[in-house]
Amino acid sequence: MNDPLDGYTALAALSPAARERVLTNSQQIQVPAGAQVFDEHQRCGGFPFVLEGAIRVIKRSAQGRELPLYRVLPGETCIVSTSCLLGHADYNASGIAERDSTLLLLPPNEFEALMAEPAFRDFIFRLISERMADLMQLVEEVAFRRLDARLASHLLGRGRLLHVTHQQLADELGSVREMVSRLLKGFADQGLVRLGREQIEVVDPAGLRRLAAPEAM
């Protein structure tokens, strides 16, 4: 029988007793695509290991706009959940299943007990360091980089043909649909993309790369 934690190679150094404790005391949860895994101001239910699928973590404004913070894939875990457990605080962001997902949820008391294990503690501190670097890059993108450059870079990272709505792009960039639509129309007028119904075709990748380049900031 496969060990559910095999995808978490950083935990290979856990003692057999600690590993067995995780597996015995955790709850396996199936989350359908689009379902909310956790929400702001909720109490943290535990430490999640993602076994299958993907969880998108976002921050919502009072006006309903969304800013994507990061994704949690198999073998990774969530710094928002980690910080809530360490600080005994409620969630300060929301998590949504991008596709059908399977989670292994470690209860808060077991999380605290595992922090005494060097391998688990190192895993947590490395996670915090990596995610903080990602979030600092996101802050820099949002605060200092023009939206047209961010949009161009985002399109390039999605392939030649994107099946996506303007609203979805706006949500992913932390912007509003009207501004994204206006920029896309400008891209189309320049021959950079071709717009269709819930579809965007990248026509001139080199032109988008020039727009996305740092000197375009």
- The pLDDT profile of the chain, 217 residues, written as one tens digit per residue, is 567 788 888 788 888 888 888 889 999 999 999 999 999 999 999 999 999 999 999 888 777 777 788 889 998 889 899 999 999 999 999 999 999 999 999 999 999 999 988 988 998 888 888 888 877 777 766 666 788 988 999 999 888 999 999 988 888 887 778 888 989 999 999 999 999 988 999 999 999 999 888 654 4
**Residues 9 and 99 reside in one and the same domain:** yes
The tens digit of pLDDT for each residue in 91-110 reads: 999 999 999 999 999 999 99
**Residues 201 and 128 reside in one and the same domain:** no
Question: pTM of the full predicted structure?
Answer: 0.67
Please say which residue of 106, 128, 143 terminates a domain.
Answer: 143
Structural domain containing residue 37: 4-143
Q: How far apart are the first and last CA of the chain?
A: 52
Angle between the N-to-C axes of helices 177-189 and 166-173, in degrees from 0 to 180, rounded to the nearest 10:
110
What total number of domains does the chain contain?
2
Please say which residue of 110, 143, 176 terminates a domain.
Answer: 143
**Residues 64 and 15 reside in one and the same domain:** yes
Please say which residue of 93, 114, 143 terminates a domain.
Answer: 143
**Residues 94 and 106 reside in one and the same domain:** yes
**Residues 129 and 183 reside in one and the same domain:** no
**Residues 23 and 130 reside in one and the same domain:** yes
Among 200, 212, 115, 110, which Cα is nearest to 160's?
A: 200
**Residues 137 and 168 reside in one and the same domain:** no
**Residues 79 and 174 reside in one and the same domain:** no
**Residues 65 and 124 reside in one and the same domain:** yes
**Residues 79 and 179 reside in one and the same domain:** no
Beta pairing, strands 36-38 & 94-106: antiparallel
Q: Which helix (H) or strand (E) holds 31?
A: strand 27-31
Radius of gyration of the chain (CA): 20
**Residues 98 and 153 reside in one and the same domain:** no
CATH for 150 = 1.10.10.10
**Residues 118 and 209 reside in one and the same domain:** no
Torsional sign, CA 78, 81, 84, 90: positive
CA distance 184 to 200: 9
CATH for 45 = 2.60.120.10
